[in-house]
Amino acid sequence: MSIITAATSAYENVKKEPDLVYNYCVKKISILVANNCFGSCEGCYLDKRFGDELSANRIINFGKILKQLGYEEITLSGGDPLIRGDIYKIVAGLNELGFSLHLDTIGKPLLNDGFLKNFPPGEASKMITLIGVPFDGSTEEIFNQFRTNSPSIKKDTLEILELLDKHGFHISINTVVHSGNTADLQNIYNLITNFPNVERWELHQYAPLSEKSKQLKDKFEVSERDFEGAVAKIDNYKNIVISPKLNTRKLNFKYLDFNGDFIKVTGGIKQTVFNINDFSDLEIVKKISK
């Protein structure tokens, strides 16, 4: 067996589930509920955005429209959803509609007792099906190559994972695999699997989608072959779900932006299809159903 064939075989063995494509036929959608974040990550897939965010009631009403269309899963992301003071209302409202609810966050507010008074983790863990937290390096230095928002980001993230684990959240770790951490994946695995409620590890091949990240392409880019080779070397001795995501998936998807823009991304090029604020619920149903 050649080295390439062996690596490909190992990669397929590590991969425990098929790639999940943002495709409305499978009744999943992402809603970017916030236009801001706690960090300023160099490789962020979004450019700086300005404007008013949709209200909590508008987001929940959009959830009702999605229910009519048979959607089953919503991922809340941003920016960072926890930057919103009304995020608990949004989570509770969408949960009441019966959605499987995923939420992606850096998690920084969870270290603030004041935030936890309005976002009780014991209750939130019953409403959120899966909470995603980034973890891109086993040391502060490696972590901060990409997540440049805190000199203690690794330490803080471990504390966040401890809190989430304590309160019974089902946790997904999101790692952007780039040229600076391909050799660090096993070390990351060894750290994140210390938390029993880490059930899933998504490994995303670096994809330059924003103007800023395109300028850093040479710094972070990792080839598909190197990505698959690095993933293939992971010893999944605790048998968690490991889901590699090639950047081709990221280049083709749809989502609702914080301001109501319904956006389609094809080949990494974004196109605003329509804004939900400009149409009635019935018209939105028709447009999404096309």
Which listed CATH number (3.20.20.70, 3.90.1150.10, 3.30.360.10, 3.40.50.880) goes with 3-289? 3.20.20.70
| Banded pLDDT at 215 (limits 50, 70, 90) | confident
Which amino acid belongs to residue 198? V
Task: Sort residue 70 into left (φ over 0), alpha (ψ -120 to 50) or beta.
Answer: left
Q: Are 80 and 106 in contact (CB under 8 A)?
A: yes
Cα 185 to Cα 283: distance, rounded to the nearest angstrom: 46
Give the per-residue pLDDT at 20.
40
| Strand ranges for the chain from DSSP E | 28-32, 73-77, 100-104, 130-134, 171-177, 198-205, 241-245, 252-256, 261-266, 269-275
Q: Quick one: tokens of 121?
A: 């983790």
| Banded pLDDT at 16 (limits 50, 70, 90) | low
Give the per-residue pLDDT at 5.
40
User: Which percentage of the chain shows pLDDT scores above 70?
Assistant: 83
Q: Give 17-21 contacts, CB < 8 A, sequence gap 24+.
A: 17/241, 17/243, 19/243, 19/244, 19/245, 19/246, 19/249, 20/243, 21/249, 21/252, 21/253
| Banded pLDDT at 28 (limits 50, 70, 90) | confident
Q: Is 24 exposed, middle or buried (0-12, 13-18, 19+ CB in 10 A)?
A: middle
Kindly state the average pLDDT of the residues 83-90: 96
Cα 61 to Cα 78: distance, rounded to the nearest angstrom: 18
Q: Is 217's pLDDT higher than 60? A: yes
**261-266/241-245 β-pairing:** unpaired
Give the per-residue pLDDT at 180.
93
Q: Is 95's pLDDT higher than 80? A: yes
